[in-house]
Amino acid sequence: MSRKTLLRSELLAARRLLTSQDVRDAAELMSSAAAALPELAGARTVAAYVSVGREPGTHALLDDMRARGVRVLLPVLLPDNDLDWAVYEGTEHLLPAGRGLLEPHGERLGPDAVLAADVVLLPGLAVDRRGMRLGRGGGSYDRVLARLAAAGADPSLVVLLYDDEVVTRVPDEAHDHPVDAVITPTAVRRFLPRGRTEPQDT
């Protein structure tokens, strides 16, 4: 078993111990912190995702951004694990999809729609002190990040996590991209420009 696989297993096991109330309380705190983040406060278009299960909750944040007039793009999983995108039009327009996901019902805008985003909210299981993110291993967001890099797009990359998911180090590979900030229920941690070494907590 690889180090990434082992760490993913441990982190997912810890999430399964959270109660529904734990998840709701954390989501409320993270939504408030995210709404105050300058990058999100000034964003016109945000690529986000719909949290499911014990993931750090995004539902309140999605509704807050939409209410403020932000164009929120949500992913649609394609058969090859790449992501298409559609505009979020409210909870009532989310439909059950494969793998337990919820996806927007609306016009598909194509994988390149993410290039218009000022901020990309990335799902993850952990972030380390360098800003390196550990995802679930499906590769969908690796493709998104590679697409952004190839196009010269430079949106702010932000991850929502629980406090104990900010770790000393995650295993990383050459294709992995560092993020700019992580939001937890108790703090916003920013990372220095790429090549950074120490985080800044706010």
pTM, 2 dp: 0.91
The series of mean pLDDT values per 10 residues for the chain, 202 residues long, is: 87 96 95 90 96 94 95 96 96 86 93 98 95 89 94 96 95 84 95 55 55
Task: Give me the residue spans of the domains in the chain.
Answer: 3-201
Q: Look at the block and give the residue holding tokens 């954390």.
A: 26
Q: What is the pLDDT of residue 200?
A: 52
Among 3.40.50.300, 2.40.30.10, 3.40.50.1370, 3.40.50.10420, name the CATH number for the domain at 3-201: 3.40.50.10420
Q: What is the pLDDT of residue 158?
A: 97
